[in-house]
Amino acid sequence: MRQDKASAGASSGDVREGPEAGLEAEAAKLLPFLAPGARVDLQAAAAQHVLALTGAESGRQLLAGQEALLHALAELAAASAPAPARDAARALVNLAADPSLHDSLLAADPGLPARLLDRALDPQWPWAEEAAATLANLSREPAPCATLMAAPAGVETGQSTLERLVCALCTRGYNAHAPLHYLGPLLSNLSRLPAARAFLLDHDRCVVQRLLPLIQCSDSAVRRGGVVGTLRNCCFEHRHHKWLLGPEVDILSFLLLPLAGPEDFSEEEMNRLPVDLQYLPPEKQREPDADIRKMLIEAIMLLTATAPGRQLVRDQGTYLILRELHSWEPEPDVRVACEKLIQVLIGDEPECGMENLLEVQVPEDVERQLQQLDCQEQKQLDREQQELAQEPRAEGTVPT
């Protein structure tokens, strides 16, 4: 996420002109006006100027060397004065969107992730979405993830970081001022950690069951993508596949529904599908975001890692949905992912001792060959994408 206002502000030209030394001096002059105790109108003007700087690569790199200024900006972003806090929070979003600046931000303010988490989960904080977006950007790196997981429990609720995050994400209208869509990618990033997956997959907490309906959230592709990414990461834990695929969770129906279209199956085929995928209305549309479609397919692929999982996935008519998806899918990389899953479902079972695909030890020479094939496949996909982009297309049409 990068704030549009910042990009617009950076296009004026003042940021890019002049020698670098002059820009550094200009940035350093902003520090007294960002500090606590400065006049609010001066804080607001300084925050706007920093926001404009963060809209350009040169401006962000310039600020990366201003540790005191970054610290003051972080403090201002969490301050109670609304106007300066808004622009300071948006500047942090832009800075955190650049991975090369993460170390500078965290060195300037090691407590930044925990403080932003408190703001993101404050139901009254008007800039909670900006705080969540900054955390979603920062948490792409391991260190901030670990910091967030180790954050102390909420003072009022006594809940852990993940408990508070899931509660905010799953509670409609949790914050009347902010939709909190970026809590989805934040949770997805945290779910890369084994401890986070252990929490999410705790059978007694029913966290996965709370997340599943958000796959269909029509308000935001950001939220949907974050939730699907979280569930995909959980599917790496093959010990929980039987529970995930069983009636207590029924994850497969939720993963397949966004991939299903309005196809009219035969009566025999319809009876092979889960009830929720039968007789879908003519206006039923597939998930519009290609990246999310691909993650849904990858999650189902992970659920086929074991022989019992493969059988359960086959038995629920998954092939029928994938067959129709493959015929419709306009994106080459998603179509390839679909083909790989279909091959697993219709292919022969692995030989004895190799039933769990997540635990198979691949010899080094075979792994090198597979990597070469992946490179060739990626080059082919890139060529197809380029050809697709060059085709003349009537406005509003989708290539088939």
pTM of the model: 0.83
244 C-beta neighbours (distance < 10 Å), count: 24
The DSSP letter of residue 351 is P
Q: What was the pLDDT predicted at 380?
A: 60
Asked if 306 contacts 241 with a C-beta cutoff of 8 angstroms, the reply is yes
- Residue 374: pLDDT band (50, 70, 90) is low
Any idea which of 5-19, 61-75, 141-155, 286-300 has the lowest mean pLDDT? 5-19
Q: What 8-state DSSP symbol labels residue 361? A: -
Q: How many Å apart are CA 375 and CA 194, to the nearest integer? A: 29
Q: Within the chain, how many helices (H) and strands (E) appear?
A: 23, 0
- Cβ atoms of residues 199 and 244 within 8 Å: no
Sign for the CA dihedral angle at 347, 349, 350, 355 comes to positive
Average pLDDT over residues 89-104: 94
pLDDT tens, position by position, 62-84: 899 899 999 999 999 988 766 78
Residue range 292-318: average pLDDT?
A: 95
Q: Which backbone phi and psi does 219 adopt, to 5 degrees?
A: -70, -30
Q: Which token pair is 331?
A: 């994106």
Report pLDDT digits (tens) over 243-273.
999 999 999 999 999 999 999 999 999 999 9
- The DSSP output letter for 81 is -
pLDDT of residue 362: 44
3-state secondary structure of 317: coil
Residue 182, phi-psi category: left (phi > 0), alpha (psi -120 to 50), beta (remainder) = alpha
The mean pLDDT value for 181-187 works out to 97
